[in-house]
Structure 1
Amino acid sequence: MADAQKPTINDVARLSGVSKKTVSRVINKSPLLNQATREKVESVIADLGYVPNLQARALALRRNFLIGLIHDNPNAQMVLGVQEGILDTIRSTEFALVVRPVDRHSPTLFDDIRRFIEQQRLYGVMLLPPLSERDDLAQLCRDLGCTVVRMGSARLDDDAHLVASNDRQAVSDAVAWLAELGHSRIGFVAGPEGFRSARERELGFHDGLARAGLKPDPAIMTRGTYRFESGRAAGEQLLSAPTPPTAVFSSNDEMAAGVLHAARERGLDVPEDLSIIGFDDTATAAHIWPPLTTVRWPIRAMARTAAAKLIHPSSAASEPSIFLSDLVRRASAITYPPESR
């Protein structure tokens, strides 16, 4: 009997003078409501002590209030930043986050993702790069009736289903700035093959050299895996060149930290002997010594917006799609030669 006396969404709607859909939008923090309506409904909810019956609503929708984050990304800090951004948006709503790492090289990738979506009855899915760069995976989500938003380093979809950054331009600006500091031998650590982000950042590196009137030197260019150890190996390779670089741009912070480690092992001083710039502006960048100059990738802001597009698809197209990265100047990059400062 006690259950029968619990207030329902119909009670909230009736006493507020709005529809059940409007009540649902209030509960899920929809941006489509005016403040007066929101406050009126929230007041009724508080007065009644109404608690949404998620199981009943999930049965009606044939979907759970779950956002799935699907990734195969070696950068753990990047994935953590995305999770934090999604949680920023869904906190105080009915939604919860489910994270699913997958192997993009697996022959059962499609079946794995299909099973995950169907078993969890997901409301929406966010795909991280490089999975997000595959149109067939995005289409699989849609075929299963699941809203999808893709994160990338370039435009991959229409505005309602995309959050992207301007990696190419941001890297170009960072490399051109190194040239302005007097560096003419700028080394490069590219990201792994198969990542659009790695490709965009590589194009930006070449753009930056061209803007400065510099030519790329393959002897001081190499590729890593976005992991620390690959950055350390890349640093050893670049610093072993007949004429080593005076500055290195690394395609992410973890590899940049590896380059810094390799320099220290050789007895080199950073930044006096070698300037280093990374990409992402993860916690690593601020915590190592010297603090790392890096391109800030607005991961958390992108993830917050992606989650908003997933839980409020009717207003998704009005949310921003392109997020601008900017250079965070710290102590790991200085004028060359140092005595000219």
Structure 2
Amino acid sequence: MTESAPRTRRSRTASLLPAPEDTGLTGKATINDIARLTGVSKKTVSRVINNSPLVHPETREKVLALMKQLGYTPDPQARGLAFRRSFLIGLVYDNPTAQYIVNMQYGALDALRDSGYELVVHPCDSSKEDYIDGVRRFVQQQKLHGVILIPRVSEDEQLAAALREIGVRYVRIASVPMDAAAHMLVTQDRQASTEAANYIESLGHRTIGLITGPRRYRSTIERGGGFLGGLDARGIKLPPDYIFEGGYTFDSGVAGAEYLLAKSPRPTAIFACNDEMAAGVYKAAMRRGLSIPGDLSVVGFDDSPLAAQLWPALTTIHSPTRDVGRQAAQMLLGEEPSSEAAAVAPRAVNPQLVVRDSTQRPKG
């Protein structure tokens, strides 16, 4: 039984192939001949040649059997013939937070492992007028199969339009839906920041400081807006002078905390819109001889490795960045999105508050 099954499978495949005298070939077989004789597209044959996972096993077996029967040897340039794309996924970013980028790459690599695809990265400066042209050249020169866009470039509609124009697949990671569901992965930052506000207020804090990211980032609007809205719903209206615009960097966190801690009355809690800025708050508090959490409670956002390494360990919003990268890459490896996909709700992840040692009730 165990020995006869493979023979049956081979004979079934062989029976579906044309006899050598029926192929109509007068010379060496080409990739077009393989596609014609197996009844599949040239794109599919190219994927079989490149061992792509996006081919049905029976189709793969049929194509390989005919290639063997005809003695077909792929031309080296056959790699990536499908839509003139290579087996490369691009990650395009303009983000000052190194750990966020690293976690996103790890997630994408998790999805691409054993798939035949590789990851290539393209850092850019979205403040420059020609950066979209640079991304376009990167995509076309590498002949990318698809592109992952992370904040802040994911929030640029002109960039998304440029990618649609050249016909490359893409996924945008953003805090709110900004495109058709097939192109979106939503991180729901506003909901998470509201949870942080609820928690800080529930501890009894009433004088609170907020350090946001750059205002040109959509995540700044969502994280800051969610926090302010959460406090407002619980009867606390944060004065504008207790809000500092940071840059998602450690140094801007130090500057923001120095500004807020000089206020009178001094905040008993500070919410920083990412962990690097929260770490900067630690440094400013230490300079002033303030203890965390005895004199000042601190909450961050992202739950980067830094959060658990700080002393005391940082209470923060866990944003599953690695999982987001993995899901985005999986979306690009899947089937081409259909027209009906636009009506489906986009994928979303659910950040959650992680309570550690940097928060407690205020003194008195």
Q: TM-score range by the shorter chain?
A: 0.7 to 0.9
Q: Following TM superposition, by how much is the alpha carbon of 1:314 offset from its aligned partner in structure 2, in angstroms?
A: 3.2
Q: Following TM superposition, by how much is the alpha carbon of 1:293 offset from its aligned partner in structure 2, in angstroms?
A: 0.4
Residue 184 of structure 2 aligns with an amino acid whose one-letter code is L
Closer, same or farther: CA 159–28 of 1 in aligned 2, 3 Å: farther
Q: Distance in 1 between matches of 2:205 and 2:130?
A: 47
Aligned length: 316
Aligned residue among 137, 151, 159 for 2:181: 159
Q: Following TM superposition, by how much is the alpha carbon of 1:57 offset from its aligned partner in structure 2, in angstroms?
A: 3.3
Deviations 1:39-98 (A, max 9, x none): x97xx99xx9xxx99852313431111111111111111111110111000010111111
Contact 1:220–1:244 (CA under 8 A) maintained in structure 2: no
Gap runs ≥5 in structure 1: 1-10
Q: RMSD of the alignment, in Å?
A: 3.0
Aligned residue among 63, 79, 85 for 2:85: 63
Please state whether the residue corresponding to 1:255 is helix, strand or coil.
helix
Q: Distance in 2 between matches of 1:181 and 1:169?
A: 19
Contact 2:251–2:277 (CA under 8 A) maintained in structure 1: yes
Q: Distance in 1 between matches of 2:150 and 2:195?
A: 25
Whichever of the two has the greater Rg, that structure is 2
Q: Distance in 1 between matches of 2:216 and 2:361?
A: 34
Is 1:226 aligned to 2:252, yes or no?
no
Question: What is aligned with 1:296?
Answer: 318
Q: Distance in 2 between matches of 1:117 and 1:284?
A: 33
Q: Following TM superposition, by how much is the alpha carbon of 1:175 offset from its aligned partner in structure 2, in angstroms?
A: 0.8
Identity %: 40
Segment drifting more, 199-208 vs 313-322: 313-322
Deviations 1:101-152 (A, max 9, x none): 1111112112211111111111111111111111110111111111011000
Residue 305 of structure 2 aligns with an amino acid whose one-letter code is A
Is 1:122 aligned to 2:144, yes or no?
yes
Q: Following TM superposition, by how much is the alpha carbon of 1:28 offset from its aligned partner in structure 2, in angstroms?
A: 4.6
Residue 102 of structure 1 aligns with an amino acid whose one-letter code is C
Is 1:279 aligned to 2:307, yes or no?
no
Contact 1:74–1:226 (CA under 8 A) maintained in structure 2: yes
Question: What is aligned with 1:8?
Answer: none
**Misfit runs of 4+, over 6 Å:** 17-20
Is 1:263 aligned to 2:308, yes or no?
no
Q: Distance in 2 between matches of 1:249 and 1:130?
A: 21
Aligned residue among 132, 135, 145 for 1:110: 132
Q: Distance in 1 between matches of 2:125 and 2:353?
A: 32
Q: Distance in 1 between matches of 2:306 and 2:247?
A: 17
Deviations 1:209-253 (A, max 9, x none): 112111112232111000000001111111001211000000000
Residue 275 of structure 2 aligns with an amino acid whose one-letter code is D
Segment drifting more, 217-226 vs 188-197: 217-226
Q: Following TM superposition, by how much is the alpha carbon of 1:27 offset from its aligned partner in structure 2, in angstroms?
A: 5.2
Q: Distance in 1 between matches of 2:75 and 2:136?
A: 27
Please state whether the residue corresponding to 1:163 is helix, strand or coil.
strand
Closer, same or farther: CA 22–250 of 1 in aligned 2, 3 Å: farther
Closer, same or farther: CA 53–166 of 1 in aligned 2, 3 Å: farther
Q: Distance in 2 between matches of 1:336 and 1:107?
A: 47
Residue 135 of structure 2 aligns with an amino acid whose one-letter code is I
Contact 1:75–1:227 (CA under 8 A) maintained in structure 2: yes
Is 1:212 aligned to 2:238, yes or no?
no
Residue 196 of structure 2 aligns with an amino acid whose one-letter code is A
Contact 1:309–1:315 (CA under 8 A) maintained in structure 2: no
Question: What is aligned with 2:4?
Answer: none
Q: Following TM superposition, by how much is the alpha carbon of 1:287 offset from its aligned partner in structure 2, in angstroms?
A: 0.6
Contact 2:213–2:273 (CA under 8 A) maintained in structure 1: yes
Residue 294 of structure 1 aligns with an amino acid whose one-letter code is T
Contact 1:238–1:245 (CA under 8 A) maintained in structure 2: yes
Please state whether the residue corresponding to 1:234 is helix, strand or coil.
helix
Contact 1:54–1:94 (CA under 8 A) maintained in structure 2: no
Mapping 1:1-341, distance limit 5 Å: 14=13, 21=44, 28-29=52-53, 55-314=77-336, 317=341, 321-337=347-363
Residue 331 of structure 1 aligns with an amino acid whose one-letter code is D
Please state whether the residue corresponding to 1:333 is helix, strand or coil.
coil
Q: Distance in 2 between matches of 1:14 and 1:63?
A: 29
Deviations 1:148-174 (A, max 9, x none): 110001111121111111111110111
Residue 335 of structure 1 aligns with an amino acid whose one-letter code is R
Contact 1:305–1:319 (CA under 8 A) maintained in structure 2: no
Contact 2:89–2:117 (CA under 8 A) maintained in structure 1: yes
Please give the TM-score of this superposition, normalised by the length of structure 1. 0.84
Q: Distance in 2 between matches of 1:78 and 1:296?
A: 12
Residue 137 of structure 1 aligns with an amino acid whose one-letter code is L
Please give the TM-score of this superposition, normalised by the length of structure 2. 0.79
Q: Distance in 1 between matches of 2:75 and 2:111?
A: 21
